[in-house]
Amino acid sequence: MKQNKLGKYLLIILPILAAAYLMWPTYRFYQLDKQRSEVSADSAALEQWDADNGEAYNKARAGRIKLGLDLRGGMYVTLEVDILKLIDESADPASKDDEFTKIVEKTRAETMNTDLDVLDTFIKNFKSSGKSLLQYFTVTGTQDVTEQAVIEKLKRDADGAVDQAMEVLRQRINKYSLSDVNIQKQGARRVLIELPDVKDEKEIRQLIQTTARLEFKRVLMNKDLLTAIQMVDNVMRGKMPTEDTVAAPAADTTKNAKDTAKTAQVAKADSAKADTTKTDSAKKNKDPYAGLSQEEASRRFRADHPFSSMIIFNAEGVKQPMPVGAIDLSVFPENAPFVLYVSGKDINRITSILERNDVRKAMPADLDIQISAKSEQNGQKGAVVPLDQQIFQVYGVAHEAELTGDVITEAWPTFDPTTNQPVVNMEMSTEGAEKWAQITGRNIKKRIAVVLDGRVYTAPTVENKIPNGSSRISGMANTEEATILAVVLKAGALKAPVTIIEERVVGPSLGEDSIRSGIMSTAISMAFIILFMLMYYSWGGGFADMALLMNVLLTVAALAGFGGTLTLPGIAGIILSTAMAVDANILIFERMREEMKAGRNLKSALEQGYSKAWSAIIDSNLTNMLAAIPLLVWGTGPIQGFAVTLLVGTILTLFTAVLLTRSMFELVVSSGAVSINIGQRKVA
């Protein structure tokens, strides 16, 4: 009997503990976010706060319940990729005639403001005209050119245009400190973007509609790159470099290398170089961080090297990676190979520094510093790694592009038949092939970077001269990476403009009003339900009210646990699910009242009430779930938010309104009670 009681107590207590565990990150995040906002005005204090609390902050942020744009404020943008423009531009200009133009115009009229597939409609209209696609379109890379081959190529291009738009937009938006951005495909040719916390709507519009820029640039990973990075430190400290001061960073890092081993985990072999110089000037330039604590020395080093301390150097023979600011360039070999890395949390800061006018003037005219688009993250496949835990490569590339992406006619992912590894095949136009042959001919055994909108997607080594424009790029880790690269390569070739067809902006103040209205409406509705249940069902109503509060708590906790987003329609879904939870208890209580009126004791009435009301409860909740599932699967935005909370709340109703309240009643019965007031009329 005691074990039975313990099980029922646990059935009540454990869900509360589980909900508290799932909701803790949300509470912790808003607590830390408030602290961070208080120090955000002071950059030094903010940097120190991030160093002390950054890990806890990001962990809480990842586990918190997210607020939708209608509660948080932000911008909804729906974009449409002009697939018909792509089809028109893909045709041979010399072959296009009045009939072709009529077909294009007819297709545009039929598909405008509809969800019809543009390519299918175009092909249908083309076939009805009696014309052949081979009159207007060509296909490269295949010997058997048929109408089906043309259709398949147009299909690849159409799908690729949407994928390309999404990839370009994702990289552009990631340059801004916008959290929880949602970019998803909608239908055959539309892209939905949700941008929380947008402050400059005009800038975002310009960002979205700017034409993608694909470039091929020479990789310049040499001593000049390291010198330029160290030079930026001088600019940020107000020491504009001149011909007499260019070597200053090397002298500074020579005297600081010993302490950097302590503050920046520099390899012992590298830090020992500072002790080998026995001249009077070396003695004069003694370690400026001697005697300081590790924390203070690290802070001083970052202050002295505000830019180069963020970029990590690694090379063969170096025992531990070190900041670029710790390298002694006076003894660094001219063409020694190395790699540079930067943490994801520092990308925005590095980018903003490189865009400063004084930094641009100090940088070599023929050198750009750019960051990879993909991270070198380690982790399980499919695992989401927070940005601050991701590592990106830093590249030095030539300022002038060797070639632009408009010469690419086709790119597709495939597998190398000899190694079975994913590769990307690339075809160029006649003009592009000639230029590509010259470029690859003079850069054999050197690297060429593929750069889209200032981010490096890959930097393969040129193995030999490529005379015909047909290239194969290898080195991809998986098929997904190869697919993305193919999409990127076609960014300069696809002529599919992106236009904004819908735009909604929710201000932060309106979001706060929505939160207040949502909380107030929920509180008022629940207050009415609680009072009604107490007045009409007395103690039974009290049990139902406790189950009702548990239902709301578990619904919100489930959203937090599954990484869901709470929206204003989602709050409506919670209110509706609470009404359904009470409805289940009403069915049970009315059945119990009938059984007690018929003369059954409390225990028997309890068993009969729950068993005989169960079928009706299942029917009502099942129909509710069946109605929510289509909204969840095919709905978007606010509709999905409503469906998620309604579905979760309905499922939890079967637990709170049935198992939970029954456990409460059975605990009362096991304590010796023979009757309980559930609002039944007294029999005279």
pLDDT in tens, 640-656: 778 888 888 888 888 88
548 in Cβ contact with 582 (< 8 Å): yes
Q: What is the pLDDT of residues 298-336, one digit of tens each?
A: 888 888 888 999 999 998 877 788 899 888 888 888 778
User: Is the pLDDT at 180 greater than 80, yes or no?
Assistant: no
Query: Computed over its alpha carbons, how large is the radius of gyration of the chain?
Result: 33
Q: Quick one: average pLDDT of 560-585? A: 81
pTM for the predicted model, two decimal places: 0.57
User: Is the pLDDT at 381 greater than 80, yes or no?
Assistant: no
User: Is the pLDDT at 229 greater than 50, yes or no?
Assistant: yes
pLDDT tier, 232 (very low <50, low <70, confident <90, very high otherwise) = very high
User: Is the pLDDT at 255 greater than 80, yes or no?
Assistant: no
Give the whole-angstrom CA distance, residue 326 versus residue 259. 9
User: Is the pLDDT at 247 greater than 50, yes or no?
Assistant: no
Q: What is the pLDDT of residues 506-554, one digit of tens each?
A: 766 666 777 778 788 878 888 888 898 888 888 888 888 888 888 888 8
Distances (CA, A) of 520 to 76, 221, 513, 516, 535: 26, 60, 10, 6, 22
pLDDT tier, 494 (very low <50, low <70, confident <90, very high otherwise) = low
Measured N-to-C along each axis, helices 508-561 and 661-670 cross at an angle, to the nearest 10 degrees, of 60
Biggest alpha carbon distance in the chain?
112
Q: Quick one: average pLDDT of 13-40? A: 87
Q: What is the pLDDT of residues 602-635, one digit of tens each?
A: 888 888 888 888 888 888 888 888 888 888 877 7
- Of 1, 58, 12, 10, whose CA–CA distance to 32 is shortest? 58
pLDDT tier, 387 (very low <50, low <70, confident <90, very high otherwise) = low
Q: Quick one: average pLDDT of 140-162? A: 80
Measured N-to-C along each axis, helices 2-39 and 508-561 cross at an angle, to the nearest 10 degrees, of 140
**Residue 580 covered by a domain:** yes
User: Is the pLDDT at 476 greater than 90, yes or no?
Assistant: no
Burial class from Cβ neighbours inside 10 Å (0-12, 13-18, 19+) for residue 288 reads middle
User: Is the pLDDT at 277 greater than 60, yes or no?
Assistant: no
- Phi/psi region, residue 338 (left: phi>0; alpha: psi -120 to 50; beta: rest), is beta
Q: What is the pLDDT of residues 652-677, one digit of tens each?
A: 888 887 888 888 888 888 877 777 77
Q: What is the pLDDT of residue 265?
A: 37
Give the CATH number of the domain where residue 657 resides.
Answer: 1.20.1640.10
Give the whole-angstrom CA distance, residue 564 versus residue 67. 9
**Residue 263 covered by a domain:** no
**Residue 288 covered by a domain:** no
**Residue 613 covered by a domain:** yes
**Residue 117 covered by a domain:** yes
Distances (CA, A) of 549 to 27, 363, 530, 598, 660: 19, 62, 9, 32, 12
**Residue 298 covered by a domain:** no
User: Is the pLDDT at 248 greater than 60, yes or no?
Assistant: no
Of 179, 210, 241, the last residue of a domain is: 210
**Residue 267 covered by a domain:** no
pLDDT tier, 178 (very low <50, low <70, confident <90, very high otherwise) = low
User: Is the pLDDT at 257 greater than 80, yes or no?
Assistant: no
β-strands 214-218, 339-343: how paired? Answer: unpaired
User: Is the pLDDT at 461 greater than 70, yes or no?
Assistant: yes
189 in Cβ contact with 499 (< 8 Å): no
First and final C-alpha spacing in the chain: 36
Q: What is the pLDDT of residue 258?
A: 34
pLDDT tier, 259 (very low <50, low <70, confident <90, very high otherwise) = very low
Q: What is the pLDDT of residues 547-562, one digit of tens each?
A: 888 888 888 888 888 7
- Of 164, 192, 141, 138, whose CA–CA distance to 83 is shortest? 164
Q: What is the pLDDT of residue 266?
A: 36
Give the chain's domain count. Answer: 2
Q: What is the pLDDT of residue 2?
A: 53
Structural domain for 548, as ranges: 508-670
Q: What is the pLDDT of residue 368?
A: 92
Give the CATH number of the domain where residue 102 resides.
Answer: 3.30.70.3400
Q: Quick one: average pLDDT of 48-63? A: 79
Q: What is the pLDDT of residue 439?
A: 92
- Of 519, 537, 499, 550, whose CA–CA distance to 657 is shortest? 550
Mean pLDDT of the chain: 79
Q: Quick one: average pLDDT of 355-380? A: 82
Q: Which of 120-134, 268-282, 373-387, 483-497 has the highest mean pLDDT?
A: 120-134
Give the whole-angstrom CA distance, residue 308 versus residue 87. 47
**Residue 561 covered by a domain:** yes
Q: What is the DSSP letter of 659?
A: I
- Of 302, 305, 307, 306, whose CA–CA distance to 292 is shortest? 302
User: Is the pLDDT at 50 greater than 70, yes or no?
Assistant: yes
Instruction: Give Cβ neighbours of residue 357 (< 8 Å, ≥ 6 apart).
Output: none
Instruction: Give Cβ neighbours of residue 387 (< 8 Å, ≥ 6 apart).
Output: 344, 345
Of 210, 236, 254, the last residue of a domain is: 210
Instruction: Give Cβ neighbours of residue 616 (< 8 Å, ≥ 6 apart).
Output: 587
Q: Quick one: average pLDDT of 441-467? A: 90
Of 146, 179, 210, the last residue of a domain is: 210
Residue 424, strand partner residues: 413, 473
